[in-house]
Amino acid sequence: MIVLGIILLIIGIVADIGILTTLGIILLVIGAILAIMGGMGRAVGGRRHYY
């Protein structure tokens, strides 16, 4: 999810498409939160690790 967020963010900035930039930022933040919670050993959505 983090990688997809970075890809969408880069495409949105290069192509000057605001919605892709916004989606990229949202996916990046959600991916980071899930990775941090998974790293703490807390199961989120039935999964312990998010890569």
* Domain contains 46: no
pLDDT tens digits, residue range 3-29? Answer: 888 898 899 999 988 899 999 999 999
* Domain contains 50: no
* Domain contains 27: yes
Domain count, the chain: 1
pLDDT at 33: 86
CA 40 to CA 49: how far, in whole Å?
A: 9
* Domain contains 48: no
Q: For residue 19, what are the contacts with CB-CB under 8 A and spacing of at least 6?
A: 12
Mean pLDDT of the region 16-44: 84
Mean pLDDT of the region 27-49: 76
| Domain span holding position 21 | 2-39
* Domain contains 35: yes
Q: Which of 29, 31, 49 is nearest to 41 (CA)?
A: 49
Task: Check the CA dihedral 33-39-43-48 and report its sign.
Answer: positive
